[in-house]
Amino acid sequence: MQKKRFTFTGDKLRALPVPSGGRARYYDDVVRGLMLEITENDARSFRCYKKFRGRPTKITLGWFDPNLPETRDLPEGAEPLDLLRGSRPALNVKMARKLAVAILAELDTGVNPAEEAAQSRRGISLGELFEKYRAHLKAMGKKSLPLRVWMWERYLGPLPEMTKKKHGAERTKALGAVDWSRRHLGEITHAMVTKLMLDLGEKVGRTTANRVVELLRAMFNFARRQKLYQGDNPAEDIERFHLPSRERFLQAHEVERFFKALTEEKDPDFADYVRLLLYTGAHRGNILRMRWDELSLDGAQWTVSGEKMKNGKPLVLPLVEEAVEILRRRAAKANGNPWVFPGNTVAGHMGSPRKKWAEFVEKAELPDLRVHDLRRTLGSWMASTGASTTITMKALGHRSVTTAMIYQQLAADPVREAAQRAVTAMLNAAKGKSVQLKGQKARVDRHE
């Protein structure tokens, strides 16, 4: 009959019989507390056994690999306890003894390394991670922080308690969204993230679904870099929705409908906002946050501060006559307010008028037109009226490594002239006049 306690060697452990049922346990004579457990399926695992805080405690070290050479040791410089933080390793007797000695020493000091390893694999909660990630983004001065906070609250975490505005709708989670703030990182699986992306893609939109997964992936990568989590990133290797590049801009035959609806618009702030979007080609966020101290109306120039730009560098945009005219009119009624478009947001400027935009494009019979398409419209009309690629990029504030030096030397006058030609062409098209565009002749007949 096989003894239950003996000096472990590779040959002896390989020769142990498979139990007909249940589990068989054998104990090492060299390291007290090290044992080998064999199941009826011939799974052979090294375990450590010791009383901890008055209770019997078993810690799995790894599985016995009969093919590992007896001379194989732990990697040089490796800490034995680090093996507990990953998947169960393949071990020989020599390696199992070293790991068992390290674990038994920790247990003697009142620390259970298996619990610490399990916590490391599980990670902190997703909510705790987001707070650390938010603090990191703030310290790094990332301009994307407000958007990421908004995405977290709407799609991944809990909604903060906010006092409902008197005439506003109550803020709610989006369809298909989740609250994973209390889940430990190790509990969030690849399958869960995939299902979340598919649900959001169906119920909210594919662009949003892609961005939520990108946020999750960035958070998990941050956790790994900060040694907050040792597991796999569940948002990696998820095929994102394919989004065809958008090329929509106002065509010559659409401009008249667009300006007709704009002329009939009863909200002067919204009408000015839309016109400035088109005349400047600026991002809507920069228009909404435009300040009077950024503008030189006499110089027909707008300096967008670096804190509003992704690269942190200020951007100087020339202003066409029509834009300057709108700004002078608004300046006469500013009454000391620093914002060109004051509003009721916490910051004090006008909020994004999404509902007004939806009503406007419906009235203009341009239901597929988006706000960002106005930026593309200015660039397209500039190119169609003869502006070079460099001039167009300068007008829209595009930057690249290859054109950075050119931008530094390019004067504002030719950029303003090119933008002026484009705006004038659009306004002429809106009046039904014949407009000569590069490579084509567009005539818009006015309908009386």
Q: Residues with Cβ < 8 Å from 380, sequence gap 6 or more?
A: 249
| pTM (global) more than 0.85 | no
What average pLDDT does range 422-440 have in this prediction? 73
What integer best gives the mean pLDDT of the chain?
Answer: 82
- Return all residues near 82 (Cβ < 8 A) that are at least 6 apart: none
Asked whether the beta carbons of 315 and 309 are under 8 A apart, the reply is yes
- Predicted confidence at residue 236, as pLDDT, reads 92
Find the helix or strand (DSSP H, E) in which 5 lies: strand 5-6
401 C-beta neighbours (distance < 10 Å), count = 6
Give yes or no for residue 434 having a pLDDT over 80. Answer: no
Domain with CATH 3.30.160.390 in the chain: 5-122
- What is the pLDDT, as a whole number, of residue 445? 43
pLDDT exceeds 60 at position 164 = no
Which one, of 115, 55, 105, lies nearest residue 79 by Cα?
A: 105
pLDDT, tens only, 35-78: 999 999 999 999 988 888 778 888 888 899 999 998 888 776 66
- Is a pLDDT exceeding 70 seen at residue 443? no
Show Cβ contacts of residue 262 under 8 Å, excluding neighbours closer than 6 positions: 271, 274, 275, 360, 364
* Residues in CB range of 233: below 8 A, 6 or more apart: 217, 220, 221, 224
Q: Positive or negative CA dihedral for 26, 27, 33, 35? A: negative
Please tell me the predicted confidence (pLDDT) of residue 75. 72
Q: Phi first, then psi: what are they for 212, rounded to 5°?
A: -65, -45
Kindly report which listed range (98-102, 173-177, 366-370, 420-424) carries the lowest average pLDDT score: 420-424
pLDDT at 214 over 90: yes
Q: Over the stretch 92-121, which tens digit does the pLDDT of each residue have?
A: 999 999 888 988 888 878 877 766 655 555
Q: Does residue 410 carry a pLDDT above 70? A: no
Which residue shows structure tokens 């704009």? Answer: 262
Q: Which superfamily does 5-122 belong to? A: Integrase, DNA-binding domain (3.30.160.390)
Q: Which of 273, 349, 283 is nearest to 315 (CA)?
A: 283
* pLDDT value of residue 219: 96
Q: Which residue has the higher pLDDT, 297 or 380?
A: 297
Mean pLDDT, rounded, for 12-29: 92
Question: What pLDDT is stored for residue 447 in this prediction?
Answer: 39
Q: What is the pLDDT of residue 114?
A: 66
Phi, psi of 312 (to 5 degrees): 75, 5
Please list the residue range(s) of the chain that carry CATH number 1.10.443.10.
252-443
Query: Residue 2 — very low, low, confident or very high, per pLDDT cuts 50/70/90?
Result: low
Strand partners for 27:
5, 35
Looking at domain 252-443, does it have CATH number 3.40.50.1970?
Answer: no
Are 88 and 64 a contacting pair, CB within 8 Å? no
pLDDT at 403: 34
* 3-class SS shares of the chain: helix, strand, coil, % to 5: 45, 15, 40
State which H helix or E strand residue 90 sits in: strand 90-91
On the question of pLDDT at 88 being above 90, the answer is no
CA distance 292 to 414: 24
Q: What are phi and psi of 58, to 5 degrees?
A: -115, 130
Q: What is the mean pLDDT of residues 7-16?
A: 94
Q: Positive or negative CA dihedral for 344, 350, 352, 358?
A: positive
By three-state DSSP, how is residue 390 classified? helix
